[in-house]
Amino acid sequence: MSSEIKPGAAWRAVVAEADFETFSSAFSDTVRLEMSAIDKPIVGAERLRRYFDASRSMFDGLAFTKESVSHERTYLEWEGRFQGRSISGTTILVRNDAGLIDRIQIYQRPLEQVIAFSTALSGRLADQNPPDHSRMRHESNKALVIKALDTLFNKRDYATAEKYWSPDYVQHSALIAQGREGLFALARSLPHTLVYEHGVIVAEGDYVMVHGRYSGNGRSAALVAVDIVRVENGVLTEHWDVLQDEVTQMASASGLPMFGDAFPNAKTGSD
């Protein structure tokens, strides 16, 4: 018996993964699907999962016939049947420097089958359960915001951070200059002792609100913040904040910490 791995086996395993966290770990945060049968790209792992859930049973049969790899690209050729007629195509997977799938391109043929597939797909996507879709989108957006803040403020990895913020980023904070450049300039000006921690995080629609603390900032007190961001197409696009100096227990009228379970050290303003 031949032990040769069949073409497309690894890709089939990714698409068939039942656990969303495991499924999404194969992709970059800004993964993008472009294909002949859709009029605009599908961006983000959550929306990608929605597409595969809708399309997985549409084919009468589908087999990958050839697989080749060239640098960061994997080329998969496939043949199948849709609504009783032949359909074939090529799937191209493009990986980033970390080895995660960052872009998917699917080209189908012939044209009449592409049109038929597009029409059927639109109906299936519309019939999917909206509550499940919303929950997955909210969880994906929350994870994106936490990863973005950690990358920028804790890791100071500006090149990677650019992938998480839109180049057209809109800033509403009175303390930060406009745009992505203004935010990154602020981050570069902060001492390397700064640490960002997140606490409670909630999401509604395209908005994420996270309660956090910026300590080790060179000031006498840490800053406790509520950052509100709008997420669009898998990137942070707009920001508002509310900031307060963190106080010690002696200065607290409520007698409870502003962030977490413990008060800051009265001398340094940090735990």
Q: What is the per-residue pLDDT for 264?
A: 83
Q: Which residue has the tokens 């920028």?
A: 152
The answer to whether 164 and 229 have CB atoms below 8 angstroms apart is no
Residue 156: domain span? 141-251
Looking at the structure, tell me whether residues 145 and 86 fall in a common domain. Answer: no
pLDDT of 132 above 70: no
Could you give the CA distance from residue 266 to residue 242 in angstroms, rounded to a whole number? 23
Residue 28 lies in a domain: yes
Q: What is the per-residue pLDDT for 239?
A: 97
Q: In terms of pLDDT, which residue wins out, 244 or 134?
A: 244
Domain count, the chain: 2
Dihedral sign (CA 260, 261, 266, 270) = negative
Looking at the structure, tell me whether residues 151 and 76 fall in a common domain. Answer: no
Looking at the structure, tell me whether residues 111 and 31 fall in a common domain. Answer: yes
CATH code assigned at 39: 3.10.450.50
CB atoms within 10 A of CB 150: 16
Q: What is the per-residue pLDDT for 149?
A: 96
Q: What is the per-residue pLDDT for 8?
A: 92
pLDDT of 94 above 70: yes
Looking at the structure, tell me whether residues 103 and 165 fall in a common domain. Answer: no
Residue 208 lies in a domain: yes
Looking at the structure, tell me whether residues 93 and 56 fall in a common domain. Answer: yes
pLDDT of 131 above 50: no
Looking at the structure, tell me whether residues 13 and 124 fall in a common domain. Answer: yes
How do residues 160-196 score in pLDDT, each as one tens digit? 999 999 999 999 999 999 999 999 999 999 999 999 9
Could you give the CA distance from residue 203 to residue 155 in angstroms, rounded to a whole number? 24
Confidence band for 56, pLDDT divided at 50, 70 and 90: confident
How do residues 204-244 score in pLDDT, each as one tens digit? 989 999 999 999 988 889 999 999 999 998 899 999 999 99
Q: Which residue has the tokens 């016939």?
A: 65
